[in-house]
Structure 1
Amino acid sequence: MKKITLIFLTAIILFACKEGDEKPPFDNIEFYENHEAANWTKETAKVHLQGKWKLIYTYCCPMSPNSGWVAVDDDHFILEFKGDSVQVFTDNNLEQIQYWEFDERYEDAFYLETNEPISNTFGTIYFSENYMFFNASPFDGSDNYFEKVE
């Protein structure tokens, strides 16, 4: 009986500690609440965007069997906003410079509009202190989380 109990407890521990049960680094509900509480306007959001933002996490595809949180290597993807331009760096190499603005079709939502698409910037933008979240739909791709570094 002891042997069966030991096997049973071992199985419970192994299955309870599987990697997919890790706590996500961000709670989206809390993120949305922080964003709403700050009462962002397009003007205040534009000021807050100025500076460097590095991609730190992606979360892909809740409808996919491979959904999950992925940490991004330091300095792999950085956006640097300067006025109405944005520089895009990948692995510390300048990949593109574009002019940007918020899409004016959406009164209460922030969507980054550029002439050419910029990867990792699809969906509605939300802020929570010095973090930014691009909330893409399952059809657009992954959700992308940035941290302000400068």
Structure 2
Amino acid sequence: MKIVFPWIIIVALVFSCTEDETKAPFNKQEFYSNHEAANWTKASAKEHLQGRWNLIYTYCCGFGDSNKWSAVEDNYFDLRFEGDSVKVFTNKNLERTLHWQFEERDGDALYLETEEPISNTFGTLYFSENYMLFNGSPSDGSDNYFQKVE
């Protein structure tokens, strides 16, 4: 009985993990490849940004339990780009409207610049079809994935 009990616990732990918890919803390398293949310019990226973007996943690159994928509930955090302004919504409530532009640094890399920082928008900006990634992990921030909804 002493030998069987540890095996029961191990089997229970293995089967208690769901595939969603262990498998990343996005392949970062594929995301980068799609971005590079599109040959984004600041003009084409600005045009693609127009509309509503809903935060759908974050990946926190901290230590211990915080190093995981987290799905974000619908409409928790939205960005709405309209020309040179961006409206920031939290739980469907307009928090603020800011002027934005692409920051001038690192050659062709895209960085969002606003008068005040906007949470979930730190790091290099990448597109993969109707998904957008703010890659904050190189500087120990989180990676934030948005989906275009309008």
Name the stretch that deviates more: 18-27 or 80-89: 18-27
Structure 2 unpaired stretches of 5+: none
Q: Deviations over 1:38-75 (max 9, x none)?
A: 111111000000000000000001x4112100000100
Distance between the aligned counterparts of 1:11 and 1:119, measured in 2? 41
Deviation at 1:22, TM superposition (A): 1.7
1:137 deviates by 2.6
Residue in structure 1 matching 2:12, options 14, 34, 42: 14
Q: Deviations over 1:108-142 (max 9, x none)?
A: 10000001000000000000000000000354521
2:116 and 2:41 mapped to 1: Cα distance?
24
Supply the RMSD in Å over aligned alpha carbons. Answer: 2.1
Structure 1: give runs of 5+ residues left out of the alignment. Answer: none
Please, what TM-score do these two structures have when normalized by structure 2? 0.88
TM (norm. structure 1) is 0.88
Letter in structure 1 aligned against 2:82: K
Fraction of identical pairs, as percent: 61
CA deviation vs aligned residue, 1:69-105 (integer Å, no higher than 9, x gap): 0000100000000000000000000001000000012
In structure 2, the residue matched to 1:125 is 125
- Matched residue count: 147
> What residue in structure 1 maps to residue 38 of structure 2?
38
Residue 64 of structure 2 is matched in structure 1 by 65
1:144 partner amino acid: N
Q: Which residue of 1 aligns with 2:136?
A: 136
The whole-number CA distance in structure 2 between the counterparts of 1:101 and 1:50 is: 12
- State the alpha-carbon separation in 1 of the partners of residues 86 and 33 from structure 2: 27
Whichever residue aligns with residue 55 of structure 1, its letter is: L
- Do the aligned partners of 2:87 and 2:96 also contact (CA within 8 Å) in 1? yes
